[in-house]
Amino acid sequence: MKPNLTLIGMPGAGKSTVGIILAKLLSFNFVDTDILIQLSQQKSLQRIIDESDHLNLRRIEEREILNMKVARHVIATGGSAVYSEPAMAHLREISEITFLRVDYQEILKRIRNFKTRGIARSKEQSFLDLYNERQVLYEKYAGTTIDCTGLDQEEIAGIIARDYIQRHCQAS
């Protein structure tokens, strides 16, 4: 039995909000890798990108994930965690991975601060290209995929919690 549950998906998919609700439902702790990065670097994700580049942010994110040694946690990853094979292998080893799939138009409605949000992408890459590129990676690493269309964060967390509890009760 894997002692953690990891949420992956695009910025704006609701990983942090769903993660907090899910942690409460499962009586787990909650950790957001974006917050870990900001605490260790003492700056915002956008500032890290502005002062170096998106690849540096991805390297920092990989390091933070590889250093995670937790149990009974819901882990909300940054949207770019899936670019690191070592980070995802580590997460797969310590947790079950759930992809929160949200369609592109919905993501556009949810994110209003593209320029300041700290989204790890090259300056030349459109957000649609980034979305399409990442969907393949999210599917690759997901143990479970939740189609979030028409669901609010509490419903999504409830689905994940019921599924997790059901699998773990059967395993006991």
Check residue 110 and give its pLDDT.
86
pLDDT in tens, 12-58: 999 999 999 999 999 999 999 999 999 999 999 999 998 998 899 99
Identify the CATH number of the domain defined by range 4-171. Answer: 3.40.50.300
Give the start-to-end residue ranges of the domains of the chain: 4-171
CA distance 163 to 81: 24
Q: Tokens for 98? A: 């759930």
Tell me which residue of 57, 59, 78 sits closest to 7, measured CA to CA.
Answer: 78
Residue pair 98/5 in contact by the 8 Å Cβ criterion: yes
Dihedral of the alpha carbons of 135, 133, 142, 35, in degrees to the nearest 10: -100
Q: Per-residue pLDDT tens for 47-88? A: 999 899 889 999 999 999 999 999 999 999 998 999 999 999
Question: Which segments of the chain are extended strands (E)?
Answer: 4-8, 29-32, 73-76, 95-101, 144-147
